[in-house]
């Protein structure tokens, strides 16, 4: 009886495909999933923390190990693939919890997957600074809260769109909005 070795090549192809698609899995997938889950008119800014990308990188590693190991351990391939897939999905799910959100209701911060959600309303803001880098002309916003917590938005396009909203909100909620030198 002749062995069909071509079936084993499917697992190597999946490993190569995972390697080629790794930038999409590690960097783009968490970005898309977090924005899709919070796609509302009331949400202005969604920031994905670095720890989320680390969790997706670990998940990608488990998917890669599962593909390569299933090539070498052909008889246990289904068990290996399902086990690595379950662990990878668990890491992805855990990695989606850390998030920074700015919305009409205020701010929500989750720094780690096992940490509690911290919420600030617009009344909790003491002052907001517009910081302009003199060399690059990039702009960022620094939000200073009454409990000394600081949140920075450094995406230039988001800063541009939020400036007019902040001018309206500062009058409503009584915080100062100035440039920082």
pLDDT at residue 90 above 90? yes
| DSSP at 136 | T
Q: What is the mean pLDDT of residues 30-57?
A: 85
Residues 40 and 125 in one domain: no
**CATH code of residue 170:** 3.30.720.210
Q: What is the DSSP string of 66-105?
A: HHHHHHHSGGGHHHHHHHHHHHHHHHHHHHTS-EEEEETT
Alpha-carbon dihedral angle through residues 151, 155, 161, 164, given to the nearest 10 degrees: 40
176-180/125-132 β-pairing: parallel
Give the whole-angstrom CA distance, residue 116 versus residue 114: 7
The parent domain of residue 10 ranges over 6-99
Do 61 and 20 share a structural domain? yes
Closest of 62, 69, 121 to residue 87, by C-alpha: 62
What is the per-residue pLDDT across 5-39, written as a single tens digit (0 to 9) for each? 666 667 677 778 888 888 888 888 888 888 888 77
Residue 1 within a domain: no
Share of the chain above pLDDT 90, in %: 23
Residue with tokens 């009058």: 171
Q: What is the pTM of this model?
A: 0.78
pLDDT in tens, 58-81: 999 999 888 888 878 877 888 988
For residues 157 and 108, which has the higher predicted lDDT (pLDDT)? 108
Q: What are phi and psi of 154, to 5 degrees?
A: -115, 10
Instruction: Give the pLDDT band of residue 178 (cuts 50, 70, 90).
Output: confident
Residues 17 and 90 in one domain: yes
Any domain includes 138: yes
Residues 140 and 57 in one domain: no
In a domain, 174, yes or no: yes
């Amino acid at each position: 009886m002749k062995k069909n070795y071509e079936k084993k090549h499917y697992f190597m192809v999946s490993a190569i495909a995972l390697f080629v698609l790794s930038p999409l899995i590690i960097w783009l997938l968490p970005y898309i999933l977090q924005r899709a889950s919070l796609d509302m008119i009331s949400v202005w800014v969604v920031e994905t923390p670095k720890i989320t990308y680390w969790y997706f990188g670990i998940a990608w590693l488990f998917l890669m190990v599962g593909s390569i190991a299933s090539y070498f351990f052909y008889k246990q391939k289904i068990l290996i693939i399902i086990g690595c897939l379950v662990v990878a999905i668990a890491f992805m799910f855990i990695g989606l919890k850390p998030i920074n959100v700015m919305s009409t209701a205020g701010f929500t911060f989750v720094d780690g997957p096992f940490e509690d959600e911290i919420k600030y309303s617009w009344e909790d803001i003491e002052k907001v600074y517009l910081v302009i880098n003199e060399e690059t002309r990039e702009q960022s916003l620094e939000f200073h809260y009454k409990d000394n917590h600081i949140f920075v938005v450094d995406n230039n396009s988001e800063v541009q769109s939020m400036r007019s909203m902040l001018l309206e909100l500062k009058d409503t909620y009584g915080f100062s909005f100035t440039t920082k030198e």
